[in-house]
C-alpha cells in the first residue's frame, strides 16, 4: 500500500435549518453524513454521484471552506481538522481547487496575470519580477500563449478559461488539487483537452487529485480509486475497475445502467462493466428528511424490512480487498 496523502474519517457536515418566529432550528440538512476514505499520494480519487448527493460539500469541507460538524481530516500526516486560523492559512497552500464554471470563478476585472498571481500575492511569495516569471511559466505549463497574461477573462473561450483556473491552482505548487466538475460546462471536443492536461500535470508535478463528477465514464477514466455518494453517504468505494466491473451496491448498479448508450458503445468482447440493472424509479429524497435506516431503501429493488429500521445504518462490508460497500444485501 502506498502512502496516503489525505485520510478522511467519519466526516460530517450538517446545516441547521431555521424557521419560525425566533429563527429556531427546525431541522438539519445532513449534506455529508459520515464519509471515510483515503487518497493515495500521486493518485486520483474520484467522487461520483447525482446532484445534491453531497460531493461538492464534501470537497469544501475537506478544504475547511466549510467547518466540519465532526470527523477528522488528516493531510500529509497532520491533523488538518484541528488547525487554528493561521496554521490553516499556511496549510491550505498545499491544497487548491478547480471549479466547474470557468465563467464565474475568474474575476472579470482582473487580467489573467493578476488572477494567476493572486495566491502568490496573498501569501507574499517572491518579488514582483519573480511572480511575473512564475505566471509566464504557468501559462506555458497549461498551454496558453505568453501574451494571455495581459488579457481579460472575457477574451477567452471556456476551455482557455479553465486553463487559467488550473494555472491559478498550480501557482502555490500544491500537493492536492480538488477538481469539482472541471469539464462539465465545456464542450465535448474541449473536455478531452482539459482532461489530458490534468493528467499531464499530475505526472509532471506528482499531484494528488480528488476528481468530482457526475459522469461515471469520466470519473472512471480519471480515477484509479472511486467513491459513489448518495444522500451524504459513501455507499461504495474501491478500485474503479472493481466498482464498475462488479458493483456491489444496488445504487451503483442502477447508476451504471442509467448511463445512456453504454449498450451500443461496447462490443461484448471488451465488456468490462456490469450487466444492466432495472431502472430506478422515483426521485432522490430530501437530505432534510432522509429515510430511516438505509438512505437508499425507498428506491432499492433489494430492500428488506430491516433496511428500513430507524437508527440502523446499513452494514459496511468489504466484498473484495479495498472494495467496500454499505449495504445489508450487497449484489453478489
Partner 1 sequence: MDEPTLVVEDLVTWYLTERGPIHAVDGVSLAVQRGETLALVGESGCGKSATALSIMRLIPSPPGLIVSGRVLLEGRNLLELSEPDMCKVRGGDISMIFQEPMTSLNPVYTVGFQVAEAILVHHKVSEREADKEAVELLDRVGIASPARRAKDYPHQMSGGMRQRVMIAMALAANPKVLIADEPTTALDVTIQSQILDLIRQLQQELNMGVLLITHDFGIVAEVADRVAVMYAGQIVEEGSTGALLECPTHPYTRGLISSVPKMDDPTGTMLYSIEGASPNLLDPPTGCRFAPRCGEARTECRECRPELESTGDGRRVRCLGGGDRR
Which 249-268 positions form the footprint of partner 1 (CB under 8 A)? 254-266
Rule CB under 8 A: is residue 224 a binding residue for partner 1?
yes
Based on CB atoms, which residue is closest to partner 1, 13 or 299? 299
Examine residue 139 and tell whether it contacts partner 1 (CB under 8 A): no
| Distance, CA of 116 to CA of 226 (rounded, Å) | 30
Interaction pattern, residues 34-63, with partner 1; x per rule: CB under 8 A: ----------------xx------------
DSSP codes joined into one string, 109-125: TS-HHHHHHHHHHHTT-
Q: How far is the CB of 117 from partner 1 (least distance, A)?
A: 26
Tell me: does residue 151 bind partner 1 (CB under 8 A). Answer: no
User: What is the Rg, in whole angstroms, of the alpha carbon atoms belonging to the chain?
Assistant: 21
Q: 93 or 193: whose CB is closer to partner 1? A: 193
- Decide: is 188 part of the binding site for partner 1 (CB under 8 A): yes
Output the CA torsion sign for 26, 31, 37, 39: negative
Helix, strand, or coil (residue 274):
coil
Q: Answer yes or no whether residue 204 interacts with partner 1 by CB under 8 A.
A: no
Residue 125 binds partner 1 (CB under 8 A): no
Residue of 64, 123, 199, 302 that binds partner 1 (CB under 8 A): 199
How far apart are the C-alpha atoms of 276 and 195, rounded to whole Å? 27
Binding span for partner 1 by CB under 8 A among 54-62, 174-182, 219-227, 310-318: 219-227
What contacts 24+ positions apart, CB below 8 Å, involve 153-160?
A: 153/102, 153/103, 153/106, 153/107, 153/108, 153/110, 153/112, 153/115, 154/108, 156/112, 157/190, 158/102, 158/103, 158/185, 158/186, 158/187, 158/190, 159/186, 159/187, 159/190, 159/193, 159/194
Binding partner 1 (rule: CB under 8 A), the pick from 88, 141, 190, 331 is: 190
**Of 137 and 266, CB closest to partner 1:** 266
Cα distance between residue 142 and residue 217, in whole Å: 24
CB of 280 to partner 1, least distance (A): 4
* Least separation in angstroms between CB 316 and partner 1: 23
User: Considering the rule CB under 8 A, would residue 228 count as an interface residue with partner 1?
Assistant: no
Three cell numbers, residue 317:
462490508
Question: Interface residues with partner 1 (CB under 8 A)?
Answer: 50-51, 157, 159, 187-193, 195-196, 199, 214-218, 220-224, 240-241, 244, 254-266, 270-273, 279-281, 283-284
Amino acid at each position: 500500500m502506498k502512502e496516503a496523502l489525505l485520510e478522511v474519517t467519519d466526516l460530517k457536515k450538517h446545516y441547521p435549518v431555521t424557521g419560525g418566529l425566533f429563527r429556531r432550528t427546525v431541522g438539519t440538512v445532513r449534506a455529508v453524513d459520515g464519509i471515510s476514505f483515503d487518497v493515495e499520494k500521486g493518485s486520483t480519487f474520484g467522487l461520483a454521484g447525482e446532484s445534491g448527493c453531497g460531493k461538492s460539500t464534501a470537497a469544501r469541507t475537506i478544504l475547511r471552506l466549510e467547518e466540519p460538524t465532526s470527523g477528522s481530516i488528516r493531510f500529509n500526516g497532520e491533523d488538518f481538522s484541528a488547525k487554528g486560523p493561521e496554521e490553516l492559512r499556511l496549510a491550505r497552500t498545499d491544497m487548491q481547487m478547480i471549479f466547474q464554471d470557468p465563467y464565474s470563478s475568474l474575476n472579470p476585472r482582473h487580467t489573467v496575470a493578476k488572477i494567476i498571481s493572486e495566491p502568490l500575492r496573498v501569501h507574499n511569495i517572491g518579488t514582483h519580477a519573480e511572480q511575473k516569471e512564475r505566471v509566464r511559466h504557468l501559462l506555458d505549463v497549461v498551454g496558453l500563449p505568453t501574451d494571455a497574461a495581459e488579457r481579460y477573462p472575457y477574451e477567452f473561450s471556456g476551455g482557455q478559461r479553465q486553463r487559467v483556473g488550473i494555472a491559478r491552482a498550480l501557482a502555490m505548487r500544491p500537493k492536492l488539487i480538488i477538481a469539482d466538475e472541471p469539464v462539465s460546462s465545456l464542450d465535448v471536443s474541449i473536455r478531452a483537452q482539459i482532461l489530458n492536461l490534468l493528467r499531464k500535470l499530475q505526472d509532471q508535478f506528482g499531484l494528488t487529485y480528488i476528481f468530482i463528477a457526475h459522469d461515471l465514464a469520466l470519473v472512471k477514466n480519471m480515477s484509479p480509486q472511486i467513491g459513489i455518494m448518495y444522500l451524504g453517504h459513501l455507499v461504495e468505494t474501491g478500485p474503479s475497475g472493481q466498482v464498475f466491473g462488479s458493483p456491489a451496491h444496488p445504487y451503483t448498479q442502477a447508476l451504471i445502467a442509467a448511463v445512456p448508450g453504454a449498450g451500443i458503445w461496447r462490443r461484448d468482447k471488451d465488456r468490462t462493466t456490469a450487466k444492466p440493472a432495472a431502472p430506478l424509479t422515483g426521485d432522490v429524497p430530501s437530505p432534510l428528511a432522509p429515510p430511516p435506516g438505509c438512505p437508499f431503501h425507498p428506491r432499492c429493488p433489494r430492500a428488506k424490512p430491516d433496511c428500513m429500521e430507524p437508527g440502523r445504518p446499513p452494514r459496511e462490508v468489504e466484498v473484495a480487498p479495498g472494495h467496500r460497500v454499505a449495504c445489508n444485501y450487497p449484489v453478489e
